[in-house]
Amino acid sequence: MRTVEIFILFPEKEDAIDRSLYLSPKSPEKSLESYIQVFQQMYSFFVHENYLGFYDSHNISRFLSNNNHEEEDYPYPKVLLKKIVSVFGEDWRDNPVNVGHKFTLGDLPIENDTLCEIAVRILENKDTNRLLINNHAYENASDFIQLCDSAKKTITFSQHPCEIPQIHKWFVCYRQPQRIYNHNPKHGENGVGSWKGAAVLLCSKKEAERLLMSAIGSENSKYLYFFDKINKKYIKFYSEGNIPQNSYHCHHLYDNEVPDYIKEKLCYITID
- Cβ-defined contacts of 138-144 (< 8 Å, 24+): 138/9, 138/11, 138/22, 138/23, 138/24, 139/24
- Which residues have a Cβ under 8 Å from the Cβ of 199 and sit 6 or more positions away? 187, 251, 252, 253
Kindly state the percentage of the chain with pLDDT values over 70.
92
At 242, the pLDDT band (50, 70, 90 cuts) reads confident
Q: Are 6 and 53 in contact (CB under 8 A)?
A: yes
List 216's β-bridge partners, or say none: 225
Among residues 208, 231, 220, 217, the alpha carbon closest in space to that of 264 is found at 217
Cα distance between the two ends of the chain: 29
Higher model confidence: residue 139 or residue 16? 139
Q: Give yes or no for a cis peptide into 177 (omega within 30° of 0).
A: yes
Residue 76 has pLDDT above 90, yes or no: no
Q: Cβ distance 251 to 235 under 8 Å?
A: yes
Q: Which tens digit of pLDDT belongs to each residue from 218-237?
A: 988 899 999 999 999 999 99
Q: Where are the beta strands (DSSP E) in 135-202?
A: 144-149, 154-161, 180-181
Q: Sheet harboring 90-91: ordered strands across?
A: 90-91, 51-55, 4-9, 130-134, 154-161, 144-149, 102-105, 108-111
| Pairwise CA distance, residues 213 & 82, whole Å | 31
Write out pLDDT tens, residues 147-191.
999 888 999 999 999 999 999 999 999 999 999 999 999 999 999
**The pLDDT value given to residue 72:** 45
Amino acid at 93: R
CA dihedral (235, 237, 238, 240) positive or negative: positive
pTM of the model: 0.92
Q: Where are the domains of the chain?
A: 4-174, 180-266
